[in-house]
């Protein structure tokens, strides 16, 4: 390879370890959230396919109860506010850690409100005869909303863990950001599910 | 993100670093060291490969000599035959190819090749292996429950997989599905680790284009897996509910849609092919650059091509459904995308050939495996063109042509790629050299029978032999003398190939016990894993992590006396 003789020796400045763009926790959580988004995309597209093939374009199918659109809209608002309050908590944490306590608590309470009233809604719908076996309509409703509920409960547990650590003064910024990222996912995926499933 | 927070977290992640005396359990079973977890994955995967190979032996015997009492198994009933082929496919893809290529070599190589002391989440890494082991146990147990193992093919199409009355193995089917789901969870956790580690804990000075291609490939494969697995998890939950609590997601009588599963499955299933292919190509290119003593031809092109392959792989899935009743116009679109994806793959092949051109090639055992990977995978790729074209696929669909085609892709990936990587990194893993003569005997004893197994199957497929048939005697046009001779040839070749694996096991144990000491860098390679002891101690570089000054493939630089130039050597 005689023509490659002209390549000069590479000289680089003394290596330094660059500061990572995102902390390990946040990056890992974001990759996990991408996967979660694809799971919900799978559910939603399956739901759309089955809905478009419903007999006689009847959706909900004949004899199945309608979903409580208004009550859930209120719930949706509570969840969105909870996400906003968590943003407030993040900025408060950046200024002075202890000031994040109240917004974090408020966010957890609003999230719990959402989960609790969704649970009440399930009990009511079960009473009206909508079960997971009653039709593909009921099946998809409980499947999609139930998957979201599991995520919401998991995220709330993570937020409570963060709150406990905040109280002990041991919570790091990276931990709060990681836990918040998961809660933002739970908050932001819900309006999409609400529009696709309830409306 | 404040800087202190990052530092604190980094410290917390490495709180497990307790050097010194460790008990047997904490060293070998509950270790958080990436090298030990890699070994656990490797040996579990190899154990599963032995089980999968045994299954292949049993049903190949049944196909060549119908009704025979197979030595070591006994007579094969139709139900057992279905369970064997289904679990052979599932095991070889989910419990051999993925754990060995991605999890084992990813875990072993990524921290060592990018100059990190461990993965960024060591305990998640340990959890990943434990869940994987649990999934393997559940799968193996499912073979022995009432009704036998699941027999609805590894693609598990409903309604056969969803309705217990059809598949007759309601418990086996659910256990199979749970095992697959747990396996996905394990790889989800592993993939998060790989991507985060590659992004955040590279050695000082290692820029994006200084990362060895094998690390890039494993990480890109992990990203593909992350993006494609979601819809399948969604579909699997729906299938599990159909099986167990009586929902009707895939039941047309109750408003469901069985084709829906095929879309959800293959949306994952086709990227999955590239998930396992990319690490194998990465391993191959690293080995070829080392033993051709030449810089990789077109590092960046290779990387961008891989990304293009990954993107395209999300738009080809419906070529598995040309005969499932999809709209012919849609079939045309998927024919075009399927043929398009052969362009980046061909580019990868040309990069490898151009790297070999003009090199001073050293024909060691790993190099032979790497070259064989290219040659055999090429046959798999070329025969894929016939199947990607929807017109030709109408004839070839579900024949042995398809079967031979995907074995010509998966065998090079899962078996040849693994042997290439294993023989290449064996000196690093165990500190001893493998016996080269025995290695070459094993190589030829594997490659030649492999071709003798599957080339007859191409011929049988073109002759119209359908895949999912237990005994061809009831099909007069498939039970001719010539057909049976080809089947017997394939089965004899399989027996020869399996027998030659004993040479490999002997070579492993003998070399590990009393092989030649390997030293730090037996192959005179550039990448960082060869700058530490063999085997590397806990923490990888006890005297301090290396700095990186150049790319990984600076071989035969004209201004240097040595023909290699390790990445960590200052200029």
Q: For residue B391, what pLDDT is reported? A: 87
Predicted local distance difference test score (pLDDT) of residue B17: 46
Closest Cα of chain B to A64: distance in Å?
A: 13
Q: What does chain B come to in residues?
A: 571
Inter-chain touch B248–A133, beta carbons under 8 Å: yes
- By CB atoms closer than 10 A (0-12, 13-18, 19+), residue B23 is exposed
- Total structural domains within chain B: 1
For residue B549, the chain A residue with the least C-alpha distance is A12
Q: How many residues does chain A have?
A: 199
Reduced to 3 states (helix: H, G, I; strand: E, B; else coil), residue B189 is helix
3-state secondary structure of A67: coil
Residue B346 domain-assigned (yes or no): no
Residue from B231, B545, B553 to probe the interface with A (highest A Cβ count within 10 Å)? B231
Closest CA to B550 of A12, A48, A106, A75: A12
CB contact at 8 A, B175 and B89: no
Strand, helix or coil at B432?
strand
A82 CA to chain B: closest CA distance, Å?
Answer: 22
Q: Which CATH architecture is the domain A25-198 placed in? A: Up-down Bundle (1.20)
Residue ranges of chain A whose pLDDT lies below 70: 1-11
Domain ranges within chain A, ordered by starting residue? 25-198
For residue B412, which of B104, B41, B166, B92 has the smallest C-alpha distance?
B92
Dihedral over Cα of B367, B371, B374, B379: its sign:
negative
Query: What is the per-residue pLDDT for B455?
Result: 96
Q: Is A170 on the interface with B (CB under 8 A)?
A: no
- Which positions in chain B touch A20 (Cβ < 8 Å)? 6, 199-200
A58 touches chain B (CB under 8 A): no
Strand-pairing partners, residue B75, are B69
Q: Are the beta carbons of B226 and B233 closer than 8 angstroms?
A: no
Residue B516 lies in a domain: no
- Set of chain B residues whose Cβ sits within 8 Å of the Cβ of A37: 230
Q: What are phi and psi of B434, to 5 degrees?
A: -85, 155
Nearest to B255 among A10, A26, A55 (CB): A55
Nearest CB partner across the interface for A15, out of B204, B247, B249: B204
Between helices B417-430 and B365-388, what is the axis angle to 10°? 150
Using CA coordinates, name the residue in chain A closest to B243: A133
Q: Which residue of A has its CA nearest to B357?
A: A1
Who contacts B208 (Cβ-Cβ below 8 Å, separation ≥6)? none
Assess contact for B230 and B120: CB atoms under 8 A: no
Would you give per-residue pLDDT tens digits along chain B (571 residues)?
333 333 434 444 444 444 455 688 888 888 899 999 999 999 999 999 999 999 999 999 999 999 999 999 999 999 999 999 999 999 999 999 999 999 999 999 999 999 999 999 999 999 999 999 999 999 999 999 998 999 989 999 999 999 888 888 999 999 999 999 999 999 999 999 999 999 999 999 898 999 999 999 999 999 999 999 999 999 999 999 999 998 989 988 888 889 999 999 999 999 999 999 999 999 999 999 999 999 999 999 999 999 999 999 999 999 998 888 888 888 999 999 999 999 999 999 999 999 999 999 999 999 999 999 999 999 999 999 999 988 899 999 999 999 999 999 999 999 999 999 999 999 999 999 999 999 999 999 999 999 999 999 999 999 999 998 999 988 988 988 999 999 999 999 999 999 999 999 999 999 999 999 999 999 999 999 999 998 999 889 998 899 999 899 999 888 888 889 999 988 7
Domain limits for position B100: 28-211
Q: For residue A4, which residues of chain B lie inside 8 Å, CB to CB?
A: 558
A12 and B205 within 8 Å at the Cβ level: the answer is: yes
Q: Assess A60–B contact: CB distance below 8 Å, yes or no.
A: no
Contact B231 A45 (CB under 8 A): yes
How big is the CA angle at B488 (ends B485 and B492), to the nearest 5 degrees?
135
Q: Give the pair of three-digit tokens for residue B55.
A: 């299954």
Sequence-distant (6+) residues with CB within 8 A of B482 are none
Cβ atoms of B364 and B419 closer than 8 Å: no
* Closest CA–CA distance from residue A138 to any residue of chain B (Å): 9
Q: A–B: how many Cβ contacts below 8 A?
A: 166
**For residue B187, is it within any domain?**
yes
In a domain, B442, yes or no: no
Cβ contact (<8 Å) for B230 and A37? yes
Residue B151 counted as domain residue: yes
Q: What chain A residue is nearest to B360 in terms of C-alpha separation?
A: A1
Residue B413 lies in a domain: no
A195 touches chain B (CB under 8 A): no
The sign of the dihedral angle between the CA atoms of A95, A97, A102, A108 is positive
* Partner residue facing B196 (CB), from A28, A53, A173: A28
Instruction: Please list every residue in chain B whose beta carbon sits closer than 8 Å to the beta carbon of residue A1.
Output: 358, 556, 558
CB contact under 8 A, A172 and B230: no
Give DSSP secondary structure letters for A91-155: HHHHH-GGGGHHHHHHHHHHHHHHHHHHHHHHHHHHHTT--TTT-HHHHHHHHHHHHHHHHHHHH
**What pLDDT is stored for residue A11 in this prediction?**
64
pLDDT at B255: 83
* ipTM metric: 0.91
Indicate the DSSP class of residue B399.
B
The reply to whether residue A42 touches residue B556, judged by beta carbons under 8 angstroms, is no
Contact list in A for residue B571 (CB cut-off 8 A) is 9-12
Nearest chain A residue (CA) to B261? A46
pLDDT at A9: 55
Alpha carbon distance B212, B210 (integer Å):
6
Which of A16, A33, A172 is most worth mutating to test chain B (most B CB atoms within 10 A of its CB)? A172
Q: Are B87 and B179 in contact (CB under 8 A)?
A: no
Chain B contacts in chain A segment 65-124 (CB below 8 A):
none
B360: its two tokens: 């001073």
Smallest Cα distance from B129 to chain A, Å: 18
Q: What is the pLDDT of residue B21?
A: 57
Q: Say if residue B159 is preceded by a cis peptide, omega within 30 of 0.
A: yes
A33 to chain B, any CB pair closer than 8 A? The answer is no
> Hey, is the C-beta of A7 within 8 angstroms of any chain B C-beta?
yes
Cα-based distances in Å from B427 to B42, B362, B518: 15, 17, 6
Residue B241 burial by CB count (10 A; 0-12/13-18/19+): exposed, middle or buried?
buried
Residues A15, B205: C-beta atoms closer than 8 Å: yes
Put simply, the answer to whether A135 touches B229 (Cβ < 8 Å) is: no
Q: B193–A28: do the CB atoms touch at under 8 Å? A: yes
CB contact under 8 A, A34 and B229: no
Instruction: Report the chain B residue with the minimal C-alpha distance to residue A147.
Output: B234
């Amino acid at each position: 390879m005689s023509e490659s003789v002209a390549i000069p020796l590479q000289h680089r400045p003394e290596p330094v370890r660059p500061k990572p763009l995102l902390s390990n926790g946040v990056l890992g959580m974001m990759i996990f959230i991408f996967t979660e988004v694809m799971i919900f995309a799978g559910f939603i597209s399956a739901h759309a396919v089955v809905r478009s093939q419903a007999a006689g374009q009847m959706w909900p199918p004949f004899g199945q109860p309608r979903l409580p659109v208004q009550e859930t809209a209120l719930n949706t608002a509570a969840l969105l506010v909870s996400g906003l309050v968590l943003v407030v908590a993040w900025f408060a944490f950046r200024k002075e850690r202890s000031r994040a306590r109240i917004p974090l608590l408020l966010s957890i309470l609003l999230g719990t409100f959402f989960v609790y009233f969704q649970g009440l809604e399930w009990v009511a719908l079960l009473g009206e005869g909508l079960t997971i076996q009653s039709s593909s309509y009921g099946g998809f409703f409980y499947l999609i909303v139930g998957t979201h509920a599991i995520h919401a409960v998991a995220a709330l547990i993570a937020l409570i863990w963060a709150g406990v650590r905040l109280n002990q003064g041991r919570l790091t910024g990276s931990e709060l950001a990681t836990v918040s990222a998961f809660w933002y996912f739970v908050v932001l995926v819900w309006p999409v599910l609400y529009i696709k499933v309830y409306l | 993100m404040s800087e202190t927070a990052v530092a604190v977290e980094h410290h917390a992640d490495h709180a497990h670093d307790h050097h010194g005396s460790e008990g047997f359990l904490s060293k070998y079973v509950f270790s958080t060291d990436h090298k030990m977890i890699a070994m656990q994955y490797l040996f579990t995967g190899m154990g599963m490969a032995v089980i999968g190979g045994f299954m292949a032996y049993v049903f190949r015997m049944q196909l060549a000599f119908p009704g025979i009492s197979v030595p070591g198994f006994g007579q094969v009933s139709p139900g057992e035959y279905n369970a064997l082929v289904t679990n052979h496919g599932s095991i070889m893809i989910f419990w051999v190819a993925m754990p060995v290529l991605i999890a084992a070599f990813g875990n072993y190589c990524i921290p060592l090749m990018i100059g990190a002391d461990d993965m960024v989440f060591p305990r998640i890494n340990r959890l990943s292996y434990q869940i994987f082991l649990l999934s393997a146990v559940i799968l193996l147990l499912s073979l022995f429950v009432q009704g036998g193992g699941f027999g609805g093919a590894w693609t598990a199409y409903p309604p056969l997989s969803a309705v217990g009355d059809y598949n007759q193995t309601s418990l086996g089917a659910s256990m199979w599905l749970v095992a697959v789901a747990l396996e996905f969870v394990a790889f989800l956790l592993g993939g998060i680790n790989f991507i985060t580690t590659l992004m955040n804990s590279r050695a000082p000075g290692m820029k994006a284009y200084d990362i060895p291609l094998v690390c890039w490939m494993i990480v890109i494969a992990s990203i593909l897996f992350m993006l494609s697995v979601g819809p399948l998890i969604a579909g699997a939950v729906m299938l599990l509910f159909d099986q167990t609590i009586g929902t009707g997601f895939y039941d047309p009588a109750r408003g469901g849609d069985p084709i829906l599963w095929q879309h959800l499955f293959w949306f994952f299933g086709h990227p999955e092919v590239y998930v396992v292919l990319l690490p194998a190509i990465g391993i191959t290119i690293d080995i070829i650059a080392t033993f051709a003593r030449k810089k990789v031809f077109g590092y960046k092109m290779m990387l961008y091509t891989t990304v293009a392959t990954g993107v395209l792989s999300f738009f080809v899935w419906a070529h598995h459904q040309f005969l499932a009743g999809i709209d012919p116009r849609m079939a045309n679109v998927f024919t075009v995308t399927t043929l398009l994806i052969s362009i980046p793959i061909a580019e990868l092949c040309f990069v490898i050939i151009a790297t070999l051109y003009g090199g001073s090639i050293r024909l060691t055992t790993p190099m032979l495996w790497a070259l064989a990977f290219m040659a055999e995978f090429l046959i798999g790729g070329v025969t894929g063109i016939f199947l990607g074209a929807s017109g030709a696929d109408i004839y070839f669909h579900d024949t042995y042509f398809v079967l031979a085609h995907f074995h010509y892709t998966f065998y090079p990936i899962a078996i040849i790629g693994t042997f290439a990587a294993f023989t290449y990194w064996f000196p690093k893993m165990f500190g001893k050299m493998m016996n080269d003569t025995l290695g070459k005997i094993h190589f030829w004893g594997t490659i030649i029978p492999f071709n003798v197994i599957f080339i007859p199957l191409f011929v049988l497929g073109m002759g119209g032999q359908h895949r999912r048939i237990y005994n061809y005697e009831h099909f007069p046009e498939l039970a001719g003398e010539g057909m049976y001779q080809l089947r017997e040839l394939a089965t004899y070749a399989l027996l020869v190939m399996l027998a030659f694996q004993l040479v490999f096991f002997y070579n492993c144990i003998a070399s590990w016990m009393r092989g030649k000491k390997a030293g730090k860098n037996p192959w005179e390679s550039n990448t960082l894993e060869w700058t530490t002891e063999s085997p590397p101690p806990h923490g990888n570089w006890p005297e301090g992590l290396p700095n990186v000054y150049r790319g990984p493939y600076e071989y035969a630089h004209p201004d240097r006396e040595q023909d290699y130039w390790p990445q960590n050597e200052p200029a």
